[in-house]
Structure 1
Amino acid sequence: MKPFRPITEPLEAGVARQRGVFEALSLLTPQDLPEERKIRIGGPGDGGYVLVDRLRPGQAVMSFGVGPTVSFDLDLAARGHTVLLFDHTIDALPATHERFTWYPEGVSGESDVARRLFTLADHMAKLPPGGEAPILKMDVEGAEWDVLTETPMGLLRRFEQIVIELHELPRLEERGFRSMAWKALATLSSAFTLCHVHANNFGGIATVSGFPVPETLEVTYIRTDLVASAPSTTFYPTALDSGNCLDWPDLPLWFYPFMPGSGAAAFPR
């Protein structure tokens, strides 16, 4: 039994915090794409992601965060995509392909040459000239928030699809983190449609100001001007999804804002 902890926060402050968490989570309301098909890229387990099936070989892929597996990148390379991989925390790629180019560099909201960290804008200069709208993948252990808040929308809109692993979501309880996360998600939502969500089951589900929140969430966005969307009727995880840890059950997202119909809820006045 947990020890009793008296509440010392004023009522008004607590309600404002809850409202802030609610509004930040509302930006993670997924939409269905009735005229599109989604596919899984990469194998089961950690490292695979879901994309909209509009992939074309002329689209380069920028893949930030390699880690122990490159199944996502190998699948795309096998489809004919040029794949630029970025990770400054490894000594070598776990696998190679003739269409891979690896840069032992990381991504950040601000460049730091000594730490081999560069902005997304810096890295985008490495894209092959004249190609179609590229694909962006980021699994950078929390650095994604800084990158998204510091990258101009004009650059983000050059990507057709963006798949990101969002980390540290229970920190939405903290005002500073919540403000940064809200800005990042609002920026994405202004030009992209969130069309797939999946909770990484290496983490769990935390309670944040009374709301269930996955510790880590994989999200897929597609540029809004390219698709027709509709309110979600999809229960996550789907048949396309796979637990990141295959020895544990996947995490059902049967709650706000992922549960069909829950995204239309309003915070009580």
Structure 2
Amino acid sequence: MTITNSKAEAWELIGNQFWTIGRVAARPSDRENDIFLENIVPGSTVAVIGASTRFLIEKALERGASVTVFDFSQRMCDDLAEALADRCVTIDLLDITAEIPKELAGHFDFVLNDRLINRFTTEEARRACLGMLSLVGSGTVRASVKLGFYDIDLKLIEYGEQSGTLAKFFDPSDKTFHFREAGDVLDRALVPHGLIDKPTLLEWYRRRGKETRFDDEDVRALLSHDVVNARGYVTLEKAVELPDAPNTMLYQFSRRAG
């Protein structure tokens, strides 16, 4: 599969550093994993979008689920395959923002992803939600979203205002940052991510390009958008606040029957 989403370059750079030396708070806690995995039983078919979510993947495997992991970075796929070499798991290259191959449509009971939507612009997030729903058919999608700004975002805004460069890399109308355009402000605003070295971290952010920040009303608008509902109306079944991740909600949604 040819991956055209340029954001994959960021994850080609970071690879398994994300889960080996990255910030612990960037992954779900045990309590949060239990929320993600509610009603998942032996034999459930589960797709996890994002190879960085290694520990959620392992918990799903412990429940006896049949797990497939999709990521748009070949390095992330390869590093996860090495980490889980002794586990029965399928790991494949897939861009969730692109058209889903017909052979995968409706193949899974559950599709899970942790704060994946935060890595996208609004347009990309719409396509990603459509892709998730395509994979799950009549099943269930569970996607967590960090609401509001990250600490680095607030620093970017502060330093961007001070330097008079904020308009170059932040659009307040839709809360979208363009990290590649932030220049020296990104260097000043950078916050540690575990033990990942600063040069790698800076380049990781730059390669991530544009990202939109979402509030609860933005996520709900996302799920009601025509793009997401193009192949059947979507219902938001519940939104649950995650207990250990500040300002982070898990949204459970599916296509309505009929």
TM-score by structure 1 length?
Answer: 0.43
| Largest Rg, 1 or 2 | 1
TM-score by structure 2 length?
Answer: 0.45
Q: Which structure has the highest strand share of the two? A: 1
Q: Which structure has the highest helix share of the two? A: 2
